């Protein structure tokens, strides 16, 4: 390795260090104010999930709600800082890309953010209330629900992230075909395997009930088909 290569490597590492410091600082600065609004966000989230169900959430240790608020504050902080974090990562990788690669990745970043937000909102306003209603359907005079707030909110945070990630499927499909890593015909012929793979992945990522599994599988597969459709339009 020549001295010029060493200098280039050092410059890249220095740029990476500065990028990481900026990202961590933005998260640290945003965490405190986000923590103070977290209780209101948690109350709103619980109202959305519970709907008309007359259920009281319980906590079973003195510090349980406080620790839960910290976890939620971290997740909200990351979500709110995501545009700035994405910008810093974008500025880091930008110099190494060709112009057409810059345009493609820029569109990918924007589309990915939108799909993630749509997935989270779909989960919060449609899937989670449905899961709660499904659980409440087993209530009888002799069987009454006792829900722990940590379980409910942790489930909401986990499923929101899962749906946000799984809603990236059309983007993944389109990007793979766009980059010529796979062909449209090869992906089209493997539809059955893709559906089974999504079904298995949904079973691993969701609670052990058929409702949440299907509610993740069906939209994800539909989005896969959407990505395949746009990939085909690009080729024609």
pLDDT digits (tens, 9 = 90+) for 114-134: 888 888 888 888 888 888 887
**Angle of CA points 130, 132, 134, to nearest 5°:** 70
58-97: per-residue pLDDT in tens?
888 888 888 888 888 988 888 788 778 877 777 776 666 6
d(Cα 31, Cα 174) in Å, to the nearest integer?
A: 35
pLDDT confidence of residue 25: 92
pLDDT confidence of residue 234: 64
Q: Which two tokens stand for residue 95?
A: 């110099």
Phi, psi of 140 (to 5 degrees): -135, 180
Task: Give the three-state DSSP class for 97.
Answer: coil
pLDDT under 70 in the chain at which residues?
A: 1-9, 53, 93-102, 104-106, 179-181, 209, 233-236
**What residues contact 53, with CB distance under 8 A and at least 6 apart?**
132, 133, 136
């Amino acid at each position: 390795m020549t001295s010029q290569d060493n200098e280039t490597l050092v410059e890249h590492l220095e740029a990476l260090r500065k990028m990481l410091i900026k990202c961590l600082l933005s998260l640290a600065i945003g965490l405190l104010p986000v923590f103070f609004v977290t209780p209101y966000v948690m109350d709103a989230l619980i109202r959305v999930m519970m709907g008309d169900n007359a259920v009281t959430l319980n906590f079973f240790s003195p510090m349980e709600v406080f620790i839960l608020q910290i976890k939620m504050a971290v997740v909200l902080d990351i979500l709110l800082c995501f545009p700035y974090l994405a910008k810093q990562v974008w500025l880091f990788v930008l110099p190494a890309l060709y112009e057409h690669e810059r345009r493609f990745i820029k569109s990918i970043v924007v589309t990915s953010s939108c799909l993630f937000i749509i997935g989270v909102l779909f989960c919060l306003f449609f899937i989670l209330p449905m899961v709660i209603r499904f659980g409440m359907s087993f209530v009888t005079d002799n069987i009454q629900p006792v829900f722990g707030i940590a379980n409910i909110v942790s489930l909401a945070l986990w499923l929101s992230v899962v749906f946000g990630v799984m809603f990236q499927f059309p983007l993944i499909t389109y990007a793979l075909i766009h980059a010529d890593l796979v062909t449209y015909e090869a992906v089209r012929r493997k539809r059955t395997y893709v559906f089974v793979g999504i079904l298995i992945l949904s079973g691993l990522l969701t609670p052990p009930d058929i409702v949440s599994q299907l509610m993740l599988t069906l939209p994800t597969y539909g989005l896969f088909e959407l990505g395949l459709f746009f990939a085909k339009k690009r080729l024609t």
